Structure 1
């Protein structure tokens, strides 16, 4: 039987309304729902366009009548950036047909009661759950073709991986295996709890890291238990420190 956690959603919501009280009422209703991860408010259509493009919310509650840029203008100006799930909220019923033609999931007519709101939110959750990407299970073995044979490598045995054009060089102890896949493709299949990028062309098994060494030029090197030294890019430095701290804290 599936646990409650397996069905939990993490929905990011944007509320767009020029009336502060209307935004506040929606926010209060949403904050009582455990599936709502965050709620952002915008008081104008122009601000909403910027915020949608910036944070890519899962669900937008959008007022129809706003000065300068109304709800329909927002969707038109967004074009391909229009969110998948939009619920119009308005005090006027005359726009209902146009709202659905614009791709709205629902049309909340002010004033609405809690029951009507929760029915609308439930519909949004169903749609988001239906189209949510299925979580991928990390691979445990990698097949590598070499001459006339195929080797099956245990992912847990990998020390580090480096990019070589459209290939990936997998290092296990003193052995190097060439895989015809890009580093980016391979990264998608690895367990992110066990592997991390330290450079745009290097992924390392976190369990193989013995420490980090600061060099004279201010750069760090990742030192493996095998004594192999790998360059740590500034771009990934903070994240690696955090990941290694998490690992040490869990042991």
Structure 2
């Protein structure tokens, strides 16, 4: 990709497909061929050949079958290396692979048989991820060309979804759907629409992985999604009641007031 192409973001998004099942390939390829933003860099039905190709030429997006006969999808990622693709989408017949997919750094996963609407949605998300990475790379290059501009630090990547493991299923919960989070020893209770989901992770660790522009600590055991806050009511000794849109009432401790400074200034 030339610098001129990067500047106008016109270079095709190179997609590589690694899929052992012919019926799945027949589903995926027409969707990719119909997308004007996409260029198919290669199609493979075996993991070994895919590893060699990815080492020679990394892809922007990699659609990768987990259940390959020679190497499974996770082995392909390990052998090809972390730089083999800008965005990895794993395809599998087994839902229990979902958690392992995210632990392996995959952007998303697709359950077989593939559904057209879901495939288009995931492809769109992967393309947007690639464009953001290209933009960040372009900014760094421009900073290098203009000596007086400092090179920006990479933007922190915060959690987009929480993986909730419950009996018989794994739920992928978008963080924007969360109302508030409460601490329970080494666990947290994630509250969504009046329902609680238990997540085995200390509150301080989860807080560090959430966007601080969205989630704010209002008490030593409580995080709240600012977009769910409807009203603040003053109490004694500098404390406040925090009332959410669903009328849940939480307490803002005095020691955490400065974290809600912009909201309090509007009151």
Query: Please, what TM-score do these two structures have when normalized by structure 1?
Result: 0.50
Query: Please, what TM-score do these two structures have when normalized by structure 2?
Result: 0.47
Structure of greater Rg? 1
